[in-house]
Amino acid sequence: MIKRFIRKKLNHDLFDSRICIVSGIGRSGTTILRKSLEVHQEINSTKTENNFVYDLLEALDTSVNKRFNAIKTPVEEHFRVLKNTILDVTFPNSCNLAKVNALCSDLRVPSYRRLSDLFGSKIKVVYILRNGIEVVASRMLKPQFKHFSFEENCKIWAYSKNVVEFACNDKNFLLIRHEDMLKDNSLEVVYKEIFSHLNNAPDYACVEFVKKNFCHPTNINEEDLKINSLQSRIKRWESFDSSQKKIFNRICGEAMEFFEYKIPSH
């Protein structure tokens, strides 16, 4: 009893803080979304991607679902230890309970499923979605995704449907769309929704940051510097060969329809 009491007293300083996870498929706008929120005076960000958090959440789901008999402590204690591990990894030097503490991580259904187990109502998820054609085309162009085949990139984007379907009834989940960040009027609406979702005061420095830095800040070319290029990237469908178009239709067709994105007819 004394040992357990001492261990609970050793919880991370942010154990009861508000946590925000920024998520979405790579090349959907996660970086610019994360960086814009870092401008907010009431948000403390890790200022990097934290996919180790995804790994820990996936491992937690596996241990609970497949290796339950191997857990030698009460489940609540198991969750507490994993929660502290996540906070130790992402916020090793932070102790500001007044702010929302934000991190950026991939999420799949198993990892999402464990968020509420660990953080309860203190967790907020902001998930950004982008047209699958644009995401797959962009991933095929970027060196950091070269190890993925066209088919693999299609599967990665299509899985976002599973995440959104699973989370859509969760009041702690907010879905925003990349295309709404490209026009001033809809951009302001998006950030009003985000501020309300996080229970933070409006800070339109975040909006101004997006207007000036709409593109991922690394590995950009001259065309990337024009915001109109983002609005016309659906034309990248024309760069897919006939085999790729068939693959995309087969893998992503259902998700494109679910998110109300149109696949060009030719």
Q: Are 23 and 123 in contact (CB under 8 A)?
A: no
* Residue 117 shares a structural domain with residue 186: yes
Query: What φ, ψ does residue 221 adopt, rounded to 5°?
Result: -115, 180
* Residue 81 shares a structural domain with residue 160: no
Distance CA 34, CA 195 (A): 13
What residue numbers bound the domain in which 105 lies? 2-129+169-215
Output the domain CATH number for residue 57: 3.40.50.300
Distance CA 154, CA 137 (A): 10
Residue 222: predicted pLDDT: 53
For residues 210, 183, 179, 50, the Cα torsion angle rounded to the nearest 10 degrees is: 10
CB-neighbour burial class of residue 21 (10 A; exposed 0-12, middle 13-18, buried 19+): buried
Residue with tokens 């929704």: 193
List, in sequence order, every residue forming a beta bridge with 177; answer none if it has no partner. 129
* Residue 29 shares a structural domain with residue 90: yes
* Residue 177 shares a structural domain with residue 56: yes
* Residue 52 shares a structural domain with residue 147: no
The tally of CA atoms less than 13 A away on the side-chain side of residue 115 is 29
Kindly give the residue spans of alpha helices, DSSP state H, lying in the chain: 2-9, 30-38, 51-66, 75-90, 109-113, 115-119, 132-141, 150-158, 160-167, 184-198, 205-212, 227-231, 242-258
Number of structural domains found in the chain: 2
* Residue 27 shares a structural domain with residue 81: yes
Length of the chain equals 266
Residue with tokens 């909006």: 207
* Residue 119 shares a structural domain with residue 159: no
Distance CA 182, CA 6 (A): 51
DSSP tag of 240 = S
List, in sequence order, every residue forming a beta bridge with 44; answer none if it has no partner. 101
Residue 90, in any domain of the structure: yes
Neighbouring C-beta atoms of residue 80, cutoff 10 Å: 17
Residue (of 18, 23, 35) closest to 176 by Cα position: 23
Mean pLDDT (10-residue bins), the chain, 266 residues: 56 94 96 95 94 94 76 80 94 87 96 92 96 94 90 98 96 96 92 97 94 62 51 75 97 98 86
Helices 51-66 and 75-90, packing angle to 10 deg: 170
Residue 146: predicted pLDDT: 87
